[in-house]
Amino acid sequence: MTDIASVSPLIRAEGLAKRYPSGGGVLTVFQGVSFELYPGQSVALVGESGAGKSTLLHLLGALDLPSEGTIRFEGRPLQDASDAELARYRNEQVGYVWQSYHLLPEFTALENVIMPLLIAGRKRADVEPAGSQALQRMGLGARETHQAGELSGGEQQRVAIARALVRDPRLVLADEPTGNLDHRTGEAIISQLLALPRDAGVAFVMATHNLDFARLCDRVFHVSAGGLTVE
């Protein structure tokens, strides 16, 4: 874990609330959520289904905006950013790992990893080395020419992690990354994800129902309608 006394927070969340219209009224998912997240730190979000774990990840990734409160990235409020700046934040600063791998089965592992870079207009020859390196980091160097549909569930999730890392993000968000995997494979995936803060200095936030996996993180945040408590 990073010595937080020596670094500035990457993310500072202040008084976050998220509400949605519901049945003629208002549904409060959570409110009064404040915390700091540092480079090299891992955090687990736990709570009942519907408590707002995924919603909080979406706010951190600027996929949604809070109803109240502020999220600052390196001191700057995301709410003050333009649409173009938010797009760059999502594309360059944040890596996403979801429960569903969202791979294109007819493309190879390497093609899936570099797809975001190709969509951004980068030349294939320029980005293939980074894609190969990301796959090798996940132990899949020998599988990069295999179509995604030919890979096991654990291998597909590792391809998804490599895709999230290929742009060297500062923040990695994972939403139930082991939900579709057996326990043993899930343990291996969690081990690789938790190496990211230590080896790459990224901030890592994971929503999970698995308390054993959650307690492997530096900090555990319990999310509920009443706010957030830290274990």
Per-residue pLDDT of the chain (231 residues; tens, 9 = 90+): 555 556 899 999 999 999 998 888 999 999 999 999 999 999 999 998 888 999 999 999 999 999 999 999 999 999 999 999 999 999 999 999 998 899 999 999 999 999 999 988 999 999 999 999 999 999 999 999 999 999 999 999 999 999 999 999 999 999 999 988 999 999 999 999 999 999 989 999 999 999 999 999 999 999 987 788 887
Q: For residue 6, what pLDDT is reported?
A: 63
β partners of residue 107: none
Kindly tell me the number of DSSP H helices and DSSP E strands found in the chain: 7, 10
Residue 129 lies in a domain: no
Q: For residue 80, what pLDDT is reported?
A: 93
Q: For residue 4, what pLDDT is reported?
A: 56
Distance in angstroms (rounded) separating the CA atoms of residues 32 and 66 = 11
Are 134 and 163 in contact by the 8 Å Cβ rule? The answer is: yes
Q: For residue 226, what pLDDT is reported?
A: 77
Residue 148 lies in a domain: no
Residue 83 lies in a domain: yes
Domain of 44 in residue numbering reads as: 4-105+169-230
- Residue 158 class from Cβ within 10 Å (0-12 exposed, 13-18 middle, 19+ buried)? buried
- Three-class SS of residue 23? coil
Residue 36 lies in a domain: yes
> Residue 166, Cβ neighbours under 10 Å: how many?
22
User: Amino acid identity, residue 71?
Assistant: I
Residue 116 lies in a domain: no
Q: Specify the CATH number for the domain of residue 20.
A: 3.40.50.300
> Residue 64, Cβ neighbours under 10 Å: how many?
13
Domain count, the chain: 1
